[in-house]
Chain A
Amino acid sequence: MKTLPKTDAVIIGGGWTGLLMAKELSARTPISVVVLERGAPRHKEDYIGGMDELDYNVRFRLMQDYGLQTVTLRYTTKDKAIPVRQLGSFMPGQGTGGAGEHWGAVWPRFQPDVFNLLTSTTQRYGAKKLPEGHSVVDWGVTWEEIEPYYVKADKLVGAGGKAGNLRGKVVDGGNIFEGARSEEYPLPPTKTPYFGSLFKDAALKLGYHPYPNPAAILSQNYTNPDGISRQACFYCGFCDRFGCMVGAKSQPTNTLLPIVEKAKSVTLRHGCWVRRIVYDKSSGRATGVSYIDANGEETIQPADLVILGSWTLNNTRLLLLSGIGEPYDPNTGKGVVGRNLTHQISFTAAQAFFDKPLNRFMGAAPAGTRMSDFDGDAFDHSNLPFIRGGTFAGMGTGFQPIVGFGAVPSSVKTRWGSEWKKAAVYWYDRVGTVSFAGEHVAYRDHYFDLDPTYKDHLGDPLIRMTIDWNENEREVVKFAIAKGVEIAKAMGAKEIVPSAPYGHYDTRRYQSTHVQGGTIMGKSPEHSVVNTFGQHWQASNLFVMGASQFANNGSANPTPSVIAFTYRTADAVIDRYLKHPGKLA
């Protein structure tokens, strides 16, 4: 074992949160920063030869290596957990940029009431409306506090879209249900693929309020406030699950890495697998981290400030492995680490078959049309058997043949042979999906802990997820399927295959890579792991970044919020903590 010289700050994880903190610290302070990334080094140039569906979209080259580490999962506290042996319902990243490399760059903000969900729902409907067994809480932060940081995030990535609520003024053509924006998007929306335009026309015909899907992919050439210039999207369609060949999709490697690599105060180390945060319980201080380096050597990196930005699963797991904070116990409701695990309802509400080609190979992951008429509390739930909702979209993400081939109307019963092939060839470019992204409520017995049986390649316990869909989510899905069919009909579909209703959580079916909770923020240490600045309640020199902070899923994809909260933490650390180290709340 070797012990390295002390650094001022060590950052665990080289993705969106870790590299953004490194950039801010290096630009605004003289402190020394070490970033530890367990995957391989990557640069945007690596993606030029990578337009290969099999390697990236099927064999998942950019994703976490489940051969080394996965999760286990069970539905209730009474079940034995089963390891998720292959990537399925979510796809964590590995290597520089993390999941921020292969993401879809869909760029919605949360609804303002997501941050005070308990209060807003109780006020409108009474406490009885909340689903049985829920653990819905307020985050302790307001829309007004976080909105300026959403603006910074928009400018960082060069977000494209159209505001629907500009400083309280409703703007037609944007998302009129969104929280008030202080500024318009930096760039106009992306172009609209044909399928998205069909969706838009249908939604308007039905009296809804469609808007161009907000995107962290450039609709025009753009130079951000850090001086990073990137070029506009070509709509090649090799987007979600790929790295961008031209750098139009904002990724840590093209947006943050060029600055971080130039910063003399930052050292970026790859192949470093962090196993523990070294924690002195008596003084309540994290003194550094322990990791296996690229040569397999056990290494201690002492540091004054530890920033944990290793994505939801490992953020929670590292706190549990390191014995920092009290693990959550669903039976007593005591403890905090691991609580409020949520995912996201994300599925194809209706498959729509058309009598004309859609040319769906063209596109970009976030290009298309969305509507929020049934999101959050935009509609009245008084007479509905559920709370919350979600957004519908018709996207032109770039349809690819291995994953896409084989969709046939329900009249075709076979899955192989001449009849199936003929139908699948005919329908290949005539099928589209009305998709739905919905909120997942937090429940008392949905949580993370350490698995008692299964270990990673180093012998450390895997993290165990206890999660399922409850009645509320199943009712939302039923509602969404009916609406999805209505929209598909209005789009002119000749045949429609509605989704099956939700049963149990299915690890095989891709849902979204939006797993939240485990190290949630809040106003008090009794109910949360970190304060609203991401600072650990017990270890004031430890900050935990990312969607593990989020006490519930907000229907919207979490990355814009992750980046906004990271900016807020950067301000708090730089302007307050480093000047007077101690508790910020």
Chain B
Amino acid sequence: MRRRQFLVLSAASVGGVLVYSLDRKVSRLAAQDKPAAGQKIRIPLRFFTEGEALIVAAAVARIFPTDESGPGATEAGVTVFIDRQLAGPYGRDKHRYTHPPFDDNAAEEFGYQGASNPQQVYREGLKQLAGFDKLAPAEQDAKLKQIETGVFFNLLRRNTIEGMFCDPQHGGNVDMVGWQLIGFPGPRMTNFAQIEQYKGEPFRPKPMSLAQVVDHPNKPTEEET
């Protein structure tokens, strides 16, 4: 077994959000434990090395940046989300047909035909981004521009959107920042009274996560074997 890796972030950068303890339970940094300046948070990683996680964190922050239009991938915990996805059946391609022969010349209409699973695509892709987290934002954008038509970037972009807007039980969309950004209320059990009421005016109920709405959310797919 490899040595356990952690993503170490400054507490200020993730201020007051959820972190994941070693037993995979979610715990909250209590508001009264407001982190002192310079304090670090160690988030256990399931798939990435710390170095990889820092590159992913920097890249997703350029894909879905934190800016004047609102919070982004950093606040939503997208890196932690992707790490958990890659460690699960999705990362291992459990539900993709992976029998050979692989035809690399198939037309694009046939979809991804590569032999590499998402774990392998990330591992290889991140090698090309060595030192990425140390670059200035403009240099980072230039680097991503170079790879934006490739398999790795497109997977990273898709996973970033997933991590922004998934139910918080998957480790992304922390504190439902993604849902708040776009006005999505989450799993709201009934809109019976409102469905015909609103005619072009915003209806923005306070978001609730699945765990807040039902007693027993189904086990997330990333926890399946």
Tell me if chain B binds chain A: yes
Binding site for B on A (CB under 8 A): 46, 48-55, 58-61, 65-67, 69-70, 73, 80, 82-86, 88, 191-194, 197, 232-238, 245, 354, 356-359, 361-363, 367, 396, 400-402, 405-406, 415-418, 421-422, 425, 428-429, 453-455, 503-508
A-contacting 9-mer, from B3-11, B32-40, B48-56, B199-207: B199-207
* A85-B97, A359-B198, A361-B188 known; A405+B111 contact, CB < 8 A: no
A455 to B199, CA, bound (A): 52
Contact across chains for A67 and B95 when beta carbons are under 8 A apart:
yes
> A235: which of B148, B191, B214 is its contact (CB, 8 Å)?
B191
A238 to B65, CA, bound (A): 28
> A508: which of B111, B161, B194, B200 is its contact (CB, 8 Å)?
B111
A-contacting 9-mer, from B12-20, B22-30, B120-128, B176-184: B176-184
Chain B residue nearest to A80 in the complex (CB): B103
Contact across chains for B191 and A362 when beta carbons are under 8 A apart:
yes
Which residues of chain B (191-225) have a CB below 8 Å from chain A? 191-192, 194-196, 198-203, 210, 213-218, 220-221
Q: Can you name 29 A-B pairs with beta carbons within 8 Å?
A: A48-B216, A50-B218, A51-B187, A52-B218, A54-B167, A58-B162, A61-B221, A67-B94, A67-B96, A82-B110, A85-B97, A85-B112, A85-B113, A86-B112, A194-B198, A236-B188, A236-B191, A361-B191, A362-B194, A363-B195, A402-B165, A405-B161, A416-B148, A418-B69, A421-B65, A425-B69, A455-B99, A503-B109, A506-B109
* A49-B217, A86-B112, A237-B191 known; A67+B179 contact, CB < 8 A: no
Most B C-beta atoms less than 10 A away, residue of A54, A69, A508: A54
> A51: which of B70, B164, B179, B210 is its contact (CB, 8 Å)?
B210
A61 to B94, CA, bound (A): 12
A362 to B189, CA, bound (A): 10
* A52-B210, A237-B191, A363-B195 known; A85+B165 contact, CB < 8 A: no
Q: Which residues of A contact B101 (CB under 8 A)?
A: 453
Contact across chains for A405 and B165 when beta carbons are under 8 A apart:
yes
Closest 10 CB pairs of A and B: A51-B187, A401-B165, A356-B200, A234-B190, A362-B191, A422-B69, A70-B97, A54-B166, A49-B218, A357-B202
Chain B residue nearest to A232 in the complex (CB): B192
> A357: which of B90, B183, B214 is its contact (CB, 8 Å)?
B183
Contact across chains for B182 and A405 when beta carbons are under 8 A apart:
yes
Q: Which residues of A contact B221 (CB under 8 A)?
A: 54-55, 59, 61
Contact across chains for B97 and A66 when beta carbons are under 8 A apart:
yes
* A191-B196, A508-B111 known; A48+B214 contact, CB < 8 A: yes
* A52-B220, A401-B182, A508-B109 known; A83+B188 contact, CB < 8 A: no
Q: Which residues of B contact A421 (CB under 8 A)?
A: 64-65, 67, 69, 72
Cβ-based interface call for B107 (8 A)? yes
Which residues of chain B (79-99) have a CB below 8 Å from chain A? 90, 93-99
Q: Which residues of B contact A73 (CB under 8 A)?
A: 110
The distance from the CB of B159 to the nearest CB of chain A, in whole angstroms, is 10
* A406-B161, A422-B69 known; A59+B90 contact, CB < 8 A: yes
Cβ-based interface call for B151 (8 A)? no
* A52-B169, A401-B182, A417-B141 known; A194+B110 contact, CB < 8 A: no
A58 to B99, CA, bound (A): 22
The distance from the CB of B152 to the nearest CB of chain A, in whole angstroms, is 13
Contact across chains for B214 and A88 when beta carbons are under 8 A apart:
no
A418 to B69, CA, bound (A): 8
Contact across chains for A359 and B203 when beta carbons are under 8 A apart:
yes
Contact across chains for B195 and A362 when beta carbons are under 8 A apart:
yes
Count residues on chain B whose CB falls below 8 Å from chain A CBs. Answer: 69
Q: A236-B187, A245-B189 known; 20 other A-B pairs, CB under 8 Å? A: A46-B218, A49-B217, A52-B210, A53-B167, A59-B221, A67-B93, A70-B97, A73-B110, A85-B111, A194-B199, A232-B192, A234-B189, A236-B188, A356-B201, A357-B200, A361-B188, A401-B164, A421-B65, A425-B182, A429-B182
Contact across chains for A82 and B103 when beta carbons are under 8 A apart:
yes
Cβ-based interface call for B63 (8 A)? yes
Q: Which residues of A contact B195 (CB under 8 A)?
A: 191, 193, 235, 362-363, 367, 396
Q: Which residues of B contact A361 (CB under 8 A)?
A: 184-185, 188, 191
Q: Which residues of A contact B192 (CB under 8 A)?
A: 191, 232-235
The distance from the CB of A188 to the nearest CB of chain B, in whole angstroms, is 13
Contact across chains for B190 and A402 when beta carbons are under 8 A apart:
no
Contact across chains for B98 and A418 when beta carbons are under 8 A apart:
no
Which residues of chain B (136-154) have a CB below 8 Å from chain A? 141, 144, 148
Contact across chains for A65 and B110 when beta carbons are under 8 A apart:
no
The distance from the CB of B28 to the nearest CB of chain A, in whole angstroms, is 21
The distance from the CB of A402 to the nearest CB of chain B, in whole angstroms, is 5
Contact across chains for B96 and A85 when beta carbons are under 8 A apart:
yes
Q: Which residues of A contact B141 (CB under 8 A)?
A: 417
A236 to B210, CA, bound (A): 13
The distance from the CB of A78 to the nearest CB of chain B, in whole angstroms, is 14
Contact across chains for A429 and B67 when beta carbons are under 8 A apart:
no
Contact across chains for A416 and B191 when beta carbons are under 8 A apart:
no
The distance from the CB of A422 to the nearest CB of chain B, in whole angstroms, is 4
> A194: which of B69, B165, B170, B200 is its contact (CB, 8 Å)?
B200
Cβ-based interface call for B106 (8 A)? yes
Cβ-based interface call for B46 (8 A)? no
Contact across chains for A425 and B201 when beta carbons are under 8 A apart:
no
Contact across chains for B95 and A66 when beta carbons are under 8 A apart:
yes
A54 to B192, CA, bound (A): 24
Q: Which residues of A contact B112 (CB under 8 A)?
A: 85-86
Contact across chains for A428 and B162 when beta carbons are under 8 A apart:
no
The distance from the CB of A30 to the nearest CB of chain B, in whole angstroms, is 39
The distance from the CB of A535 to the nearest CB of chain B, in whole angstroms, is 34
Q: Which residues of B contact A508 (CB under 8 A)?
A: 108-111
Contact across chains for B189 and A86 when beta carbons are under 8 A apart:
no
Most B C-beta atoms less than 10 A away, residue of A197, A354, A400, A421: A421
A503 to B214, CA, bound (A): 45
> A88: which of B90, B111, B194 is its contact (CB, 8 Å)?
B111
A422 to B203, CA, bound (A): 20
Chain B residue nearest to A399 in the complex (CB): B184
Q: Which residues of A contact B97 (CB under 8 A)?
A: 66-67, 69-70, 83-86
Chain A residue nearest to B217 in the complex (CB): A49
Contact across chains for A83 and B182 when beta carbons are under 8 A apart:
no
A73 to B178, CA, bound (A): 38
A357 to B201, CA, bound (A): 6
Q: Which residues of B contact A418 (CB under 8 A)?
A: 65, 67, 69
* A49-B216, A55-B221, A194-B200 known; A401+B178 contact, CB < 8 A: yes
> B191: which of A85, A234, A455 is its contact (CB, 8 Å)?
A234
> A236: which of B70, B189, B201 is its contact (CB, 8 Å)?
B189
Chain B residue nearest to A55 in the complex (CB): B221
A406 to B164, CA, bound (A): 12
